[in-house]
């Protein structure tokens, strides 16, 4: 058998005047992380292997851009987020996507479903199951057709923009990505959960004044 390739070893220059020291796969992994929303080991096994082999160097490159690297080795995904520190004021390097009220509510529902079913392996849900839990947020000024249209729009955002759900067989079935556990963390859940329960119980719009029609004040890294 031949020797295993050292993915962390600097490769030759990729083009004339190339001064980079990372190998090609590591550079592509770095680029995928910065583009976001995350790097999947299942969907990009070669880049995932390069990331693990060259983790120290990639963390260093990201720190130079004021970014932290988050890796879930069990779920095989990684993403970057802006550095948060009290030692200095840091810029926001990666963009955050403003979420609508329903986007955020759907993320919470999907996260709850993920945590409830993780012990059983892949968590696959039906669109109707998710939508059923969101009807409590329909306000009197929204008719059913309008609200259903908005839920469909949020479902497409989950699938195509945030990539936290993936098609699983039938068109109305989707697998919830384990990355959702970390994209929406426990602190965010605690901060907005009580407010959403208040709205669901008939408490009206956001006490903070955030709009329920358009963008809420919740962001996630793109």
Check pLDDT > 80 for residue 61.
Answer: yes
Check pLDDT > 70 for residue 185.
Answer: no
Q: What is the mean pLDDT of residues 97-119?
A: 85
**54 lies in the same domain as 80:** yes
Q: What is the mean pLDDT of residues 8-35?
A: 87
Residue 154 CA to its chain's centroid (Å)? 14
Partner residues linked to 71 by β-bridges:
78
Domain CATH for 71:
3.90.1150
Check pLDDT > 50 for residue 216.
Answer: no
Range of the domain at 142: 96-221
What span, in angstroms and rounded, lies between the C-alpha atoms of 16 and 160?
Answer: 37
- CB of 53 closer than 8 Å to CB of 6: yes
What span, in angstroms and rounded, lies between the C-alpha atoms of 154 and 164?
Answer: 12
**132 lies in the same domain as 45:** no
**207 lies in the same domain as 107:** yes
Quick: pLDDT tens for 72-94.
998 899 999 889 889 999 888 87
Quick: pLDDT tens for 109-150.
999 899 888 777 789 999 999 999 999 888 787 889 999 999
Q: Residue 199 — pLDDT band, cuts 50, 70, 90? A: low
Query: What's this model's pTM, rounded to 2 decimal places?
Result: 0.67
Check pLDDT > 80 for residue 189.
Answer: no
What's the pLDDT score for residue 44? 96
Check pLDDT > 50 for residue 206.
Answer: no
What span, in angstroms and rounded, lies between the C-alpha atoms of 55 and 83?
Answer: 17
What's the pLDDT score for residue 147? 93
Q: Which residue has the higher pLDDT, 185 or 140?
A: 140
What's the pLDDT score for residue 138? 85
**83 lies in the same domain as 104:** no
Tally of domains within the chain = 2
């Amino acid at each position: 058998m031949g020797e295993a390739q050292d993915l962390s070893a600097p490769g030759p220059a990729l083009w004339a005047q190339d001064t980079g020291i990372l190998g090609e796969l590591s550079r592509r992994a770095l680029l995928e992380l910065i583009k976001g929303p995350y790097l999947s080991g299942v969907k990009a096994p070669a880049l995932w292997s390069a990331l693990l082999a060259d983790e120290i160097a990639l963390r260093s490159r990201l720190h130079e851009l004021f970014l932290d690297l988050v890796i879930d080795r069990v779920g095989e995904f990684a993403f970057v987020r802006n550095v948060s520190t009290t030692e200095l004021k840091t810029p926001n390097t990666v963009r955050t996507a403003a979420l609508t009220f329903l986007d955020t509510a759907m993320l919470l529902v999907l996260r709850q479903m993920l945590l409830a079913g993780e012990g059983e392996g892949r968590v696959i849900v039906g669109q109707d199951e998710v939508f059923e839990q969101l009807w409590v947020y329909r306000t009197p000024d929204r008719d059913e057709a309008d609200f259903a249209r908005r839920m469909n729009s949020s479902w497409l955002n989950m699938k195509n923009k945030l990539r936290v759900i993936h098609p699983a067989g039938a068109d109305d079935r989707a697998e919830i990505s384990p990355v959702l556990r970390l994209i929406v963390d426990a602190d965010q859940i605690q901060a907005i959960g009580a407010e959403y329960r208040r709205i669901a119980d008939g408490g009206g719009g956001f006490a903070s004044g955030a709009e329920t029609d358009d963008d809420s004040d919740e962001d996630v890294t793109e």
